[in-house]
Amino acid sequence: MVTSTHEVSHRIFQDHPEVLAPVFEVLGLEAPAKAVIEAITPDATEIKPLERRVDTVLKIEPSDGDGFLLAIEAQTKKVSGKGASWAYYVSYLHAKFNLPVLLVAVCRNHPTAAWAAGPFECRVGPWKTQVTSPFVLGPDTVAPITDESEVARQPALATLSAIVHSESQDIAAILELLARGMRSFDKATAKYWSELVEIGLENTPARDTWRKLEKMVITYFPGRGTVFEEAYLDGKAKGMAEGMAEGEAKSVLRVLEGRGLPVSDELRERIVTCTDLDLLDDWLGRVGTVERAEELLADEDGESPDSD
């Protein structure tokens, strides 16, 4: 069954091909300085009604080298017969496009990653007619996030790293770094990556951890059932509103402190006691750009930032 986790684990390569640069490094291949990267049809269905579909297929055309196809499969668990399907995908794509095919399996735990690496053999006795050996992007090949600045530099890779390490014992620390790193994003960017992480962590205990940390990022996406959608829909409840206000106030102070801006006792008190979610949201939208902490209150007080 296709899940949100499954979709995020491969679609991130379609929407953010910049992820491929570190992937080339992991694979031991030279990343093309200039390349045309386009998603092509993943349909591998013949005339017969048996449907076969690769998760994501990208055509890579370097400016100074031979092109090839990257077939990406998201795999959350061991599945009987998958090796035969993967062999079919590689053979079909190679024959159809007359290009070499690199098969990559994205896995989020060690047992699945070990299994997905194969090799998957089609043999009769000692004779091997075909061998399929996917390259696995998993806990052993994608480094965990160790520095929140990495998130700002490579958000797509940081998101992929969090997903493939979602069942690691260190996932809580990884997600905390990810959340802190996202605080440097503008509001729209933070919203996008925050939800992508939550969807990618679906059906894992790590998702609950992220839902708590996500308040540091402050996001709302309708129709996805994320923590901030629930907060929005239930916002009239006093307890929820107070909890959101407290979380947003703390986030405002964290960003100010992280930027090294002095915060007076009077301003700190005003922020932590504020219960106006719209006002807090406005502060969060501007806290990353003000030059002085007091500028947050300029519009509210009817003053300009330079009035004093």
Overall pTM surpassing 0.75 (yes/no) = no
**pLDDT on residue 184:** 79
Q: What CATH topology corresponds to 4-137?
A: Trna Endonuclease; Chain: A, domain 1 (3.40.1350)
286: Cα within 13 Å, side-chain hemisphere? 18
**pLDDT on residue 114:** 94
**pLDDT on residue 219:** 46
Mean pLDDT by 10 residues, the chain (308 residues): 54 64 61 57 51 78 80 89 91 92 90 93 86 91 85 87 89 89 80 84 84 67 51 51 76 82 88 85 81 78 46
Among 59, 71, 55, 47, smallest CA distance to 6 is for: 55
**pLDDT on residue 222:** 47
Helix, strand, coil distribution of the chain in percent, nearest 5: 50, 15, 35
Tokens coding 7: 């979709």
**pLDDT on residue 143:** 87
155: Cα within 13 Å, side-chain hemisphere? 20
- Non-local CB neighbours of 72 within 8 Å, separated by 6+ positions: 10, 13, 54, 55, 56, 57, 58, 104, 106
**pLDDT on residue 36:** 57
Annotated domain spans of the chain: 4-137, 148-230, 234-301
Q: Angle 155-164/4-15 helices, nearest 10 degrees?
A: 150
**CA 182 – CA 274 distance, rounded (Å):** 23
